[in-house]
Structure 1
Amino acid sequence: MFLLHLTFIRSQLVCLLGILLLSAHVCCAQEASQINNDSTQADSTRMKFDERVMENLRQISERKTIMGKFLKAVLDFDRHNEEVAGLDAELIKREYEKHNYKIVRHIEIRTLDPLGYSINDTARVPRNFLEKAGNSLHVKTGRSLIRNKLLFRKNEPLEPLALVESERLLRQTEYLLDARIIVNEQTTTDDSVDVYVLAKDIFSLGGSGSYSPSSGSGRIAPRELNFLGQGHQLRTSYRFGMNRPRPWEFDASYSVENIGRSYISADVIYSNQNYYKEKSAYLSRDFFSTNTKYAGAVGLSLVEERLQMPSSPTDTAVVFGKLTYNRQEAWLGRAIKLKNYNLGYEAKGRLIVGLRVINTDYKTTPTENFQDNTLMLGSIGYSVRKYYKDRFLFGFGRTEDIPAGTFASLTYGYEKGAIKDRRYFGATTSLAKYSANFGYLYGSATYGSYIRDNKWEQGMLDVQSMYFTRLLEWGNWKLRHYVIGRATIGINRNPEELLSIDKELGLRGFRSEFVRGSRRAVLNYEANLYTPFTLFGFRLAALAFADVAWLSTGNKSSPFNESPYRGFGVGLRFRNEYLSFSTIQILIGYYPKLPQNGNMDSFRIFGSSRPYYDFTDFRFTTPGVVEFR
């Protein structure tokens, strides 16, 4: 299935929304008139607003009119919010403490097709032709694939946290919608347990696309996230009808997750874009669980980039330089469990050490600031990871895991270059807190710089924060606010290293090849209103946003000395949790300040398939140089 042309979608959505609101308004007015004429209907005024709107629309849908048939076809009036046990509860909790170190006697695994089934109501089954037909085209995830994700084994002692961590890992798997792991208390004995594992698939075959008749350009992006139920993932994207410098682009990636029971994943990437080309292959294993001991990766890549060079306000064309290089790398990490004197309960903190070697050979360079080199890095860090459960964050009602905790690391490295040698130093710290009443607050700070001849060069300070409120509810209407702050300060960066405020880097919907700098500060606000409406199986949410970005061009000037760029807008967001489609967003943005040498309009209607914000986990990752982007 592919998205329609953006203009067509916009017009249809605006018309549909207008019809719904107008219908609700007319029906509410009619209802109020009837109430004034008949006091026996006074109880209906006590109905919640959303219930009145849905009831009015339901009554219209039962009429044998064009509007009635239309509403009955696109709206689902029988959809109810599922109650999910354990929300706002810490996953690392003591509910399974009494089962620690018992022998796992039996593991029963059941997987559900994506359409018509419920993980919270196992009695629910597909009820219509579309659900049954969709499931017939889907291959359920193999039970062996689910078993390989579990951190506990049959006939082995049950380690602390193994149950809750396994449930979280299943829930975060891309081809699964949700998962539950339950101990059968009726068959549990003093020394053994039976465990029931229930997982629900998404419809893994999907994609997205767009087409513009006016320009003849478009994009198709089919993907399969669970080929034949074996967890193999293939993603592709093809763009056509482009004006410059070449009319097409193609990207593809193939991933095999968790080979055997090793938690090692294989990834192959091919990218052939106008300004970026890559061929790469990696084998990797990360600290997927709080009690993972070893992580690491090996890989190689061939990259060709066209780097944008500095420009002046009067330039009418962007100048690019060509950069081509080969890279080979490997890293290994070890997590050390600290002593815990609370018997039977897993310690949360981990001390982690990691070593990484990167060898880079440049074939073509735009300036003399690039040299062949071998970079050796060592990191030591401390991590405390815990997770909470909530809903209506990035999804539309499914259970989501919220990472919280603390993290700190120090990195030291040495670069052996073909022309010059230099050292590297980096430090990172982050903290996040969550409560059901307060919401979620995250903050982090990262600094990194090379040192040569006692001079600091190519340095960067990056500060980030995010806060979202608790979920505010009025019946089936739900509201959540998000505030995000970011600052990236370049210190003695090379002239060709430039920051952008385009799209997710600053102002959503904003794009300009000429707005570049070395220091950036961004403040974003977003409000999400989740509605009870369902259109063709897609949940509907409305959003409003306000973005402000400051950007300076000098290595020493403050970005706040410049007049900020701003963006304001509203939009609609659609998502079907049971399908692999990305979230569909149709947004209208207004930008009061535009670059002098750009061709962007103050008002812009655009689409997006990704959220503007995301969580940062507190796991130790690959030792590396902080990325300046």
Structure 2
Amino acid sequence: MSSCRPLYFFTRIALLAILLLLTELCLAQEVSPPQDSTRTDTTQKFDERVMSRLREISERKTIMGKLLKAVLVFDRKDEELTGLDAELIEREYEKHNYKIVRSIEVITRNPFGYSITDTTQLPKNFFEKAGNSLHVRTNKRLIRNKLLFKQNAPLEPLALVESERLLRQTEYILDTRIVVDEYSTTEDSVDVVVIAKDIFSLGGSGSYSPSSGSGRAAIRELNFLGQGHQLRSSYRFNMVAPRPWELTGEYTIENIGRTYISADLNYINQNYYQEKSAFLSRDFFATNTKYAGAVGVSWINERLLLPMGPDDVTPPGFGNLGYTRRDFWLGRAFRFKSYNLGFEPRGRLILGVRAIDTKFTETPTDNYQNNTLLLSSIGYSVRRYYKDRYLYGFGRTEDIPAGTRVSLTMGQEFGQRENRRYIGTEFAFAKYAPSFGYLFGRAAYSSFVTSSEWEQGVLELEALYFTKLYERNNWKLRHYIMARTTYGINRNPEELISINNEEGLRGFRSEFLRGSRRMVVNYEANLYTPLSVFGFRLATVAFADLAWLSVGNSSSPLKEKPYHGYGIGFRFRNEYLSFSTIQIMLGYYPRMPEYENLNSFRFFQTSRPYYEFEDFRFNRPGVAQFR
């Protein structure tokens, strides 16, 4: 990680602080007008006083006034209240179920300055207008192709709310609303209006370290020419070892011909991982989806960390693993019969089959064999979605999945040396309420079975809780708590897991610290501030992480001394851009591995969210990942 990136962002923060301070000092020199003796509230909060004075300066015909007017937006309003229940929308439009859709009007908005709920809101400053002039709006055809209802066809239950959710989850759409025009609606037909607001789809990032000459450059286009094609690429240069460069590229075409089939091409050429792959896939994107599946091929080469020698003195080394994998799966969802014409049951019974053919070209040990794995699964899934704000985003509408998923997977591996059976089971649930927060739990177990023993098994336990959003004026606070357990059972010696970054302690990085069993507890507090510059919102973050790691089938992580991580930092995001969330953190790690020369303090930058929602859609049958 380049040391100059944290310095760059802290410099920007310092400049903003200096600007606010100078504003205070300059205005302090002015003669204050006589106060109104009838005024009862003589106090004003600091942030309100600063913004009020910045607004006053922006109205002056000076260079500083024109600059502030071009940069800051003082009258931006939230578009809806937090905690809006998506189920309410479904009930609101229940009376229109099975009416004929007479017309569909699609309205697309540019990313900057426009609102999907307030037609009077327009771009106000130079940067918003300039950004919109460089943006190509999403083709209305793409919006229509995402809709689960058609013109001159009956309006099915859930079609409106599910279509709105699918559009909002599209990477190049910031937010959307689908409404029924109540003025033109009749007893047997409706007119539907779809309003979608884009994000600025072109983005990039980069870093450079003058001391080492190393750096990284990345570019992404999430909506090429408004046609929905997505391209991503990144390049690292002047790296120390074992090779000075890394290159990745990805190209995606989604929803081909309104089939919801997506095409993905991937190229990854990193020091420890290389991949070339091509896939066509379709998942259970909506509650009413009947069929899902995928077909593809991948060529993969990895460098695996091998365990220490039996004397515990020989340092761990690396081994090469190379293989070609062909993959196919198909799933079918069955809806339970309902005798209520206007009610759509949420539960689905889902059956799936999958075939995976793996041919190894290079192996680090004798524990790998060419094989063909045949899997079948049966599951039950209930999905519902709610809407809230300030979870992962900074005020945009976010869909929160809740529900239940139960699955059983069984199969047979036909290997070059031996055949094995496979069995896996999973149970997951999630509950949400604006006054309570979000609670998620998951338990899963899977293993291969030979004639003599169970092997390569894994037990996974996970719990995640988000508190409700605490608000005081324009400041908002939310707490996150997560606990995870991963127990390897009769794993191969080279199958090891770490506690690096998202796998354990955020910001922690050790090349050799590995184990076969792990327990992790994470806590985080996010304070969302009212500060916004160039549309970038600021939040402060504090975290505390604990991780236990042990080696061996009879070991217990809790008998080992834990590793700790504590830190604070800042999080920046502009919801109108395709840029990832930027987090600049300072972490402190009291305990470090003895055989590595690592600093207990570390500045690090990340764009990947540490917590993610678990959607309750049914996934393809597969072997549980040990990671």
How far apart, CA to CA, are the structure 2 residues paired with 1:550 and 1:24? 49
Amino acid at match of 1:338: F
d(CA) in 2 for partners of 1:174 and 1:550? 36
Contact 1:92 1:386 (C-alpha < 8 Å) held by counterparts:
no
* Cα distance in 1, alignment partners of residues 66 and 14 from structure 2: 16
Contact 1:416 1:422 in 2 (8 A): yes
1:430 is aligned to 428
Name 2:442's counterpart in structure 1.
444
Q: In structure 1, what is the Cα distance between the partners aligned to 2:60 and 2:180?
A: 49
1:72/1:508 CA distance change after superposition, 3 Å? farther
- Displacement of 1:68 in angstroms is 8.1
**TM-score with structure 1 setting the length:** 0.94
Question: Is structure 2 residue 263 aligned with structure 1 residue 257?
Answer: no
Rounded to whole Å, the distance in 1 between the matches of 2:361 and 2:260 is 35
Matched, 1:111 2:108: yes
Q: Does 1:601 align with 2:599?
A: yes
In terms of mean alpha carbon deviation, does 258-267 or 72-81 score higher?
Answer: 72-81
The answer on whether the counterparts of 1:482 and 1:526 sit within 8 Å (CA) in structure 2 is: yes
Q: What's the secondary structure of 1:174's corresponding residue?
A: coil
Cα shift readout 1:513-537 (whole Å, capped 9, x = no counterpart): 1110000011111111111111222
Contact 2:69 2:125 in 1 (8 A): no
Q: 3-state SS of the aligned residue for 1:164?
A: helix
Can you list the C-alpha shifts for 1:134-171, whole angstroms capped at 9, x where unaligned? 22221111111111100000111110000110000000
Aligned counterpart, 1:453:
451
- Kindly provide the amino acid, as one letter, of the partner of residue 160 in structure 1: P
Could you say if the C-alpha distance between residues 548 and 331 of structure 1 is closer, same or farther in structure 2, counting changes exceeding 3 Å? same
2:163 to 154, 162, 166: 166
Shift of 1:93: 3.0
Matches within 5 A, 1:119-518: 119-311=116-308, 318-518=316-516
- Tell me the distance in 1 between the aligned counterparts of 2:70 and 2:127: 13
State how far apart, in whole Å, the 2-side matches of 1:345 and 1:110 are. Answer: 29
- Name the SS for the 1:79 alignment partner: coil
Kindly provide the CA deviation profile for residues 21-62 of structure 1, in whole angstroms up to 9, marking residues without a partner as x: 86799899999x999x96838644454554244335556777
Aligned counterparts of 1:284 and 1:265: Cα–Cα separation in 2: 5
* 8 A Cα contact 2:71 2:127, kept in partner: no
Shift of 1:90: 2.6
CA distance in 1 between counterparts of 2:406 and 2:583 reads: 36
SS in 2 for 1:154: coil
In structure 2, what is the Cα distance between the partners aligned to 1:440 and 1:410? 26
- Report the number of matched residues: 625
Aligned to 2:540: 542
SS at match of 1:54: helix
CA distance in 2, matches of 1:27, 1:346: 63
Distance 1:68 1:99, change over 3 A: closer
* Paired AA for residue 180 in structure 2: V
- Tell me how far apart the structure 2 counterparts of residues 81 and 4 of structure 1 sit (CA, whole Å): 36
For 1:487, the aligned partner's letter is: T
- Tell me the alpha carbon deviations over residues 155-201 of structure 1, each in whole angstroms, 9 at most, x when there is no partner: 11110000110000000000000011010111111111110011011
Instruction: Compute the TM-score of the two structures, normalised by the length of structure 2.
Output: 0.94
Distance 1:531 1:477 in 2: 5
1:198/1:553 Cα in 2 relative to 1: closer, same or farther (>3 Å)? same
Q: Tell me the distance in 1 between the aligned counterparts of 2:307 and 2:38.
A: 71
Q: Return the alpha-carbon distance in structure 1 between the equivalents of residues 183 and 195 of structure 2.
A: 18
What is the rounded CA distance, in whole Å, between the counterparts of 1:606 and 1:272 in structure 2? 23
Greater CA deviation, 594-603 or 193-202? 594-603
- The secondary structure found in structure 2 opposite 1:93 is helix
1:532–1:197 distance in 2 versus 1, CA, 3 Å: same
Q: Are 2:4 and 1:5 equivalent residues in the alignment?
A: yes
The CA distance in 2 between the partners of 1:240 and 1:521, in whole Å, is: 35
Aligned to 2:163, the other structure's residue is in SS state: helix
Gaps of 5+ in 2: none
Alignment of 1:551-590 (within 5 A): 551-590=549-588
SS of 1:146's partner is: helix
Q: 1:61 to 1:586 in 2, by over 3 A?
A: farther
Question: Is the contact made by 1:28 and 1:53 (CA closer than 8 Å) also made in structure 2?
Answer: no
| CA distance in 2 between partners of 1:282 and 1:610 (Å) | 24
Is there any run of 5+ residues in structure 1 with no aligned partner, and where?
none
Q: Which amino acid in structure 2 is aligned with residue 5 of structure 1?
A: C
Q: Taking every aligned residue pair, what percent have the same amino acid on both sides?
A: 66
